[in-house]
């Protein structure tokens, strides 16, 4: 199941800050029509840190209802509080999600043993496939490969979204266990897959779902040259989407491409004018505007 291009879906908001559920459903349908292999709502790209628990659970419900079994739904359900993570993960299972994406506990920076016990308790409390999420640039702490390998022995911990930016980290994880590794950085999807990764949880797929799907498909089908050429073509866009904090640039791109009129929840806000200029230049070069 954890194989292919999974979109880390943005959360659209109305001018008053409320979630735009109608637009959210349309964005899901856009993904379904353009070959995305899986949907990940309520992740970092979905501004989960600004969502209330009720909003997060509502988005899980909407995603499962809209997808209707056509592709896997892996809902962001992580927190730095173990009991809160259990609450959200339980709802993901109740809603019918195919898996839960659980970020490493941020701010309190647990030791490797604390990380292990956090995930162990969740996995043993809620019977749902779990994708670990290692993103030290967001959380202030990185999971050691040895901790990942230890957790992989728990039957329902089956994948990791690896966004440390380190190919050494990926190499060590895959040398220690057979957990499914998905890239958490679009620009590293091809390198990570060359080490044995199974795909990506993608920011770029919000605007180019078919292209990201094809990149992954080509590599998995051993069309290495085709995947490499596509990687080089898309690389400027991959990098541009992180000029400012994600998801500021990708939402701005969606506005430039007239997919919808984006808004952000504080403390995130619209990008700087010079960022818009750079994004327009890259989108034009990619033939997207």
Annotated catalytic residues are: 133, 161
Cα–Cα separations (whole angstroms), residue 28 to 12, 31, 51, 79, 182:
11, 5, 19, 24, 21
d(CA 260, CA 241): 17
- Tokens 């999600």 appear where? 97
Q: How far apart are CA 8 and CA 230, in angstroms?
A: 20
- Residues 6 or more apart whose Cβ sits within 8 Å of residue 2: 38, 72, 74, 99, 129, 131, 158, 159, 180, 182, 198, 199
Q: Can you list the positions of beta strands (E) in the chain?
A: 4-8, 38-40, 74-76, 99-103, 130-134, 157-162, 180-183, 199-202
- What are the start-end ranges of the E strands in 168-208? 180-183, 199-202
């Amino acid at each position: 199941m954890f194989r292919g291009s999974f979109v880390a879906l943005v959360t659209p908001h109305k001018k008053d800050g409320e979630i735009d559920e109608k637009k959210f459903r349309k964005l899901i349908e856009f993904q379904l029509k353009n070959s995305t292999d899986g949907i990940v709502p309520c992740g970092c790209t979905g501004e989960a840190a600004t969502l209330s628990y009720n909003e997060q659970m509502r988005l899980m419900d909407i995603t499962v209802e809209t997808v209707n079994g056509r592709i896997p739904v892996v809902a962001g359900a992580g927190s730095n509080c173990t009991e809160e993570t259990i609450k959200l993960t339980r709802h993901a299972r109740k809603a019918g999600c195919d898996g839960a994406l659980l970020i490493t506990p941020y701010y309190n920076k647990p030791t490797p043993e604390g990380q292990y016990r956090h995930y162990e308790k969740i996995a043993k409390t809620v019977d749902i496939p779990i994708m670990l999420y290692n993103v030290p640039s967001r959380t202030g702490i990185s999971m050691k490969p040895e901790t990942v390998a230890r957790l992989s022995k728990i039957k329902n911990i089956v994948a990791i979204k690896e966004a440390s930016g380190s190919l050494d980290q990926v190499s060590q994880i895959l040398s220690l266990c057979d957990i499914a590794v998905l890239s958490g950085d679009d620009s590293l999807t091809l390198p990570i897959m060359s080490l044995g990764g199974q795909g990506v949880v993608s920011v770029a797929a919000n605007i180019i779902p078919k292209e990201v799907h094809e990149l992954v498909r080509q590599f998995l089908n051993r069309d290495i040259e085709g995947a490499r050429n596509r990687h080089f073509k898309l690389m400027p866009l991959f990098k541009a989407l992180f000029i400012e904090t994600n998801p500021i640039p990708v939402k701005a791109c969606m506005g430039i491409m007239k997919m919808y009129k984006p808004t952000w929840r504080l403390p995130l806000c619209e990008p700087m004018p010079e960022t818009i200029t750079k994004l327009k230049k890259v989108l034009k070069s990619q033939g997207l505007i």
